[in-house]
Chain A
Amino acid sequence: MSVGKVGRLMVLVVMTAFVVSFSWNLSYADGKGIFASKNCGSCHQSEGPANEKTFEDQLKKKGPELWYAGSKFKKEWLVEWLEKPTTIRLLKYNSITEKNNEKHAVLSKKEAEEVAEYLLKLTAKEVPAGAVTEASTPQGKNLFVKRYGCVGCHAVKAGAQKAGGVSGPDLSEAGKRLKGDWVYAYLKEPKVFKPVKRMPVFVGIINDNEMKTIAGFVAGQK
């Protein structure tokens, strides 16, 4: 191969890499742009860290934080949900008495893909990758339902039906939505993700192994 040919090949490789990275960044930038233009930030916090300190800080929020969305959500679910949103919280966000009848904004397929691309880049370093095996084991069920009473606030599968409380998010299909590693991190580091919340702090009550088993059980609910 002549020097000229190698040179041309190198230029081609560099240009291809540039175009690929540019279009990838464009998709991310588009997603961020859509998030801004649709005013998603009026309900969802997209930059960390968590800054709520009082009940009032939490109660004035209109929707869940997304600054760690990339550590929390599974991609396929996120794209689909943005296109066809369903009810995750049976009670209205921040309410313990009003049924959730709110309609979330609906995005087109292309918008959903781009917004998901952007959200999935918002990650938290406190979520350890690969810590949890996602499986609804009998041990996990026992801890979730009997030992720690999580089912008092969260609905999970009960045979073909579902059963449980309604003040926490519905977890009966949580495995489609949530990464097990995130559920574990949320249990382990509540101050990082949600310093003010109605769910009790379980640090120092549920041990590390049990937290992983519970997180696996939740992420196994599909």
Chain B
Amino acid sequence: MIKKIFLVTIILIGAAAFVWKGTAFAATAEENYKFYCAQCHGLDGKGEGANAKPKAFGIDLPEMSVTPRNHTSSEDMSKLSDTDVQNAISDGGASVSKSSIMPPFGKTLTEAEIKDLTAYLRKLCKCKGK
């Protein structure tokens, strides 16, 4: 009996650790988006964050050399598969033949968080991947 309780406890701890590992800072996809992605893609996802258009935020610096993806555009976003999106987040723009200005977040976010973010992007574009 004691052995059984011990075993169950170990399994539960293991499962809890596995679930917890899903979030680096216990944040939701929306929170991750607003903390990291919004710097360039904007809080609303239209690709007009402060790094992309400093002048719109009152700062006299030139616009970014590339236009960050508009995540609300179903036309643009439906051309990408979920795997494309996950690769871009994890390994950066260069990994999907886009600009290296999009940095890799694979060592910042967990795999589960990147999957959740991909689902969040699908909500923003109201579209499915190809």
Contact = CB atoms under 8 A, between A and B. Distances in A.
Interface string B10-25: 0000000000000001
Interface string B25-58: 1110001000110111001000001110010011
Contacts of A125: none
A205 interface: yes
Nearest to A152: B101
Which of the listed residues B25, B26, B43, B58 has the most CB atoms from chain A within 10 Å of its own CB? B25
Contacts, number: 89
A147 interface: yes
B102 interface: yes
B102 A149 contact: yes
Contacts of B102: 149, 152
B99 A165 contact: no
Contacts of A109: none
A201 interface: yes
A150 to B, nearest CB: 8
A91 interface: yes
A69 interface: no
Given A152-B102, A204-B107, A55 B31 contact: yes
A155 B100 CA distance: 16
A163 B62 contact: yes
B41 to A, nearest CB: 11
Contact of A201 (B25, B40, B100, B108): B108
Interface residues of A, number: 33
Given A53-B25, A166-B50, A149 B101 contact: yes
B61 A96 contact: no
Given A55-B31, A198-B39, A99 B59 contact: yes
A96 B59 contact: no
Contacts of B50: 91, 96-97, 165-167
Contacts of A196: 25
Contacts of B64: 152, 165
Tell me what chain A mostly uses at the interface: helix, strand, loop, or mixed: loop
A54 B32 CA distance: 11
Interface string B53-79: 010011101101000000000000000
Contact of A153 (B43, B51, B105): B51
Nearest to B68: A152
A146 interface: yes
B105 A200 contact: yes
Nearest to B35: A55
Given A55-B27, A149-B93, A200-B108, A166 B54 contact: yes
A55 B25 contact: yes
A146 B100 contact: yes
Contacts of A161: 62
Interface of A: 53-55, 90-91, 96-99, 146-153, 155, 161-167, 196, 198, 200-205
Shortest 4 CB-CB contacts between residues of A and residues of B? A165-B51, A149-B101, A152-B101, A167-B39
Given A148-B100, A166-B54, 6 more contacts: A55-B31, A163-B62, A165-B50, A167-B40, A200-B105, A205-B104
